[in-house]
Amino acid sequence: MNTGDPTGGIQVLSDRSDQVWTKGSGKAFVCDKKSAAGSVTQRACAFCGSRVVLYPIADALHIVHGPIGCAVYNWDIRGALSSGPQLHRNSFSTDLAEKEVVFGGEKKLKASLIELIDYYKPKAAFVYSTCIVGVIGDDVEAICKVVTKETGIDVIPVDSPGFKGTKRSGYQAACEAAYRLVGTGSTENLGKYTINLMGEFNIAGEAWMIRRYFEQIGIEVVATITGDGRVDDLRRCHGAKLNLVQCSGSMTHLAKLLKDEHGIPMQRVSFFGFEDTARAIYAAAEFFGDPEIMRKAQELVRSEIAKFAPQIRDYKKKLKGKKAALYVGGAFKAFSLVLALRALGMKTVLAGTQTGSAEDYEQLKEICDEGTVIVDDSNPLELAKFVIEKDVDLFIGGVKERPVAYKLGVAFCDHNHERKIPLAGFEGMLSFAEEVAASVLSPVWKFVPRREALAVAAFEEARKGEGK
């Protein structure tokens, strides 16, 4: 059916019309609410949220208590690297069968934990509750206590049944679980200038790059939470003087606990793009107020930007004027991406996130241009609608957004946790530019139907002009 409207007249569901906003429209905007049933949200569930946050702690055992699906769909799908243990890359599950659903899964959980701990010798264990466990009422906390006593390692329940709120509630459950380790280790031998890097997941080794920047200017990183995470680092992370929170959606709760209980201030930062990376480094340097650190920071930023700026300039020449759409997990990242795209000469015409907070969106709205569409908790139909209407050249998102872009003949850049290319920091900005250019400038787009249609329209327009 060709209606002449390539979106087929897709309408935003009335249940969520206040979650779609256009800059300059003056309309109200709502976020942070649960997904409308049947909306085909791109979000997962509370379980997913908790699992995403904690699993990069590489020397802990992570076991999913429930039937198999929940565990199997996230077996080693993410790009968080470890500099040592690889235990987190396994998928352990109690794989509950009907019998256990009826009679309870406590016995199986206990046996599983004892055997796995004995075999893999982890430093701690996390037990993730799934929907089923939330319903059948296994006393996970009690089992964890017993196993802690029997094995001598901390076995920590993560209260994350899928139905329990949104993905954000899962983040909160993860922070609560991680916090149980905080304060249990010695903070002796920690230097004067110390920070924790929070909400950094070490995708493709990004935490290592960022850690190097700080070490270079004389700041010690106590813990990277949770990418390349270690149980012992969590135990003593309360000894740091400052928390830099990158993925604010996932880590704000833990940072708040550290602030309230241990008096450690937090700052939201981002390491995507030159501007934000520099700003983050300066923020830390300023915090410690040591002119020597500030001098080193300035030197680092200057030399790093000098190293990569010429190549970025070349890409900018080629990408100037292209239009981008982005749909990512958290809004703070979206904010950085708008700036990074601007640095490449590109304009963001659609920006959205799965789990942004009101505060995040305020900032996002501010930096976007007039006419930019902002969406919260969107779905494939809406994303397709705006991709077509705004005639975008590039989509930035994750695996679930990729086919929406590709089907419509739009370039794509993967910017979620499954990617295997580091995009953070100064050198990350270069890989970002490379990846964007590799897709946007590919010759394949001239074959896609959308381009043909645009060419025909342009031809018709030109012919009409001649006729006058």
Query: Scanning residues 94 to 133, which ones bind other proteins (CB under 8 A)?
Result: 94-98, 100-101, 108, 111-112, 115-116, 118-123, 130-132
Cα(23)–Cα(34) distance, rounded to whole angstroms?
23
Q: Which is nearer to other proteins, 35 or 353 (CB)?
A: 35
In angstroms, what is the minimal distance from the CB of 104 to other proteins? 12
Instruction: Return the C-alpha torsion angle 314, 398, 58, 101, nearest 10.
Output: 180
The per-type count for the chain, helices as H runs and strands as E runs, is: 18, 14
| Chain residues 307-346 in contact with other proteins, contact rule CB under 8 A | none
Q: Which is nearer to other proteins, 93 or 248 (CB)?
A: 93
* Beta strands in 340-419, from DSSP E residues, in sequence order: 347-353, 373-376, 394-397, 411-414
Q: What are the tokens at 362? A: 């305020």
Q: Which stretch binds other proteins (CB under 8 A): 140-148, 247-255, 286-294, 403-411?
A: 403-411
Kindly report the backbone phi and psi dihedral angles of residue 376, in degrees, each rounded to the nearest multiple of 5, phi listed first.
-115, 140
| Chain residues 189-218 in contact with other proteins, contact rule CB under 8 A | none
Q: Which is nearer to other proteins, 7 or 187 (CB)?
A: 7
| Chain residues 362-391 in contact with other proteins, contact rule CB under 8 A | 379-381, 384-385, 388
How big is the chain by its Cα radius of gyration, in Å? 24
| Chain residues 7-26 in contact with other proteins, contact rule CB under 8 A | 7-8, 10-11, 13, 15
Tell me: does residue 467 bind other proteins (CB under 8 A).
no
Q: What are the tokens at 450? A: 């959308």
Q: Which stretch binds other proteins (CB under 8 A): 92-100, 219-227, 286-294, 306-314?
A: 92-100
Residue position matching structure tokens 């400038």 = 441
Q: Which is nearer to other proteins, 318 or 419 (CB)?
A: 419
Q: Which of 22, 23, 89, 316 binds other proteins (CB under 8 A)?
A: 89
Tell me: does residue 83 bind other proteins (CB under 8 A).
yes
Query: Does an H or E element contain 157, and which?
Result: strand 154-158
Tell me: does residue 459 bind other proteins (CB under 8 A).
no
Q: Which of 20, 54, 70, 209 binds other proteins (CB under 8 A)?
A: 70
Question: Do 238 and 285 meet the contact criterion of CB atoms below 8 Å apart?
Answer: no
Question: Do 154 and 185 meet the contact criterion of CB atoms below 8 Å apart?
Answer: no
Q: What angle do CA 358, 362, 368 make, to 5 degrees?
A: 135
Tell me: does residue 460 bind other proteins (CB under 8 A).
no
Q: Which is nearer to other proteins, 27 or 34 (CB)?
A: 34
In angstroms, what is the minimal distance from the CB of 6 to other proteins? 4
Tell me: does residue 41 bind other proteins (CB under 8 A).
yes
Cα(141)–Cα(147) distance, rounded to whole angstroms?
10
- Size of the chain in residues: 468
Tell me: does residue 455 bind other proteins (CB under 8 A).
no
Q: Which of 19, 31, 53, 59 binds other proteins (CB under 8 A)?
A: 59
In angstroms, what is the minimal distance from the CB of 77 to other proteins? 8
Cα(177)–Cα(54) distance, rounded to whole angstroms?
9
The DSSP bridge partners found for residue 396 are 326, 413
Query: Does an H or E element contain 339, and which?
Result: helix 331-343
Tell me: does residue 185 bind other proteins (CB under 8 A).
no
In angstroms, what is the minimal distance from the CB of 120 to other proteins? 5
Cα(274)–Cα(381) distance, rounded to whole angstroms?
33
| Full DSSP string of 4-73 | S-TTTT----GGGGGGEEETTS------S-PPPTTS--S---HHHHHHHHHTTBTTEEEEEESSHHHHHT
Q: What angle do CA 176, 182, 184 make, to 5 degrees?
A: 135
Q: Which is nearer to other proteins, 286 or 391 (CB)?
A: 391
DSSP classification of residue 447: G
Tell me: does residue 30 bind other proteins (CB under 8 A).
no
Tell me: does residue 453 bind other proteins (CB under 8 A).
yes
Tell me: does residue 137 bind other proteins (CB under 8 A).
no
Q: Which of 20, 31, 53, 134 binds other proteins (CB under 8 A)?
A: 134
Site string for other proteins, 414-443 (x = CB under 8 A): ------------------------------
Q: Which is nearer to other proteins, 99 or 307 (CB)?
A: 99
In angstroms, what is the minimal distance from the CB of 184 to other proteins? 18
Q: Which of 191, 452, 458, 460 binds other proteins (CB under 8 A)?
A: 452
Query: What residues have CB less than 8 Å from 462, skipping those under 6 apart?
Result: none
Q: How far is CA 13 from the centre of its chain?
A: 26
Q: Which stretch binds other proteins (CB under 8 A): 315-323, 362-370, 435-443, 449-457?
A: 449-457
Mapping DSSP to helix (H, G, I), strand (E, B) and coil, where does residue 387 land?
A: helix
Q: Which of 104, 165, 183, 185 binds other proteins (CB under 8 A)?
A: 165
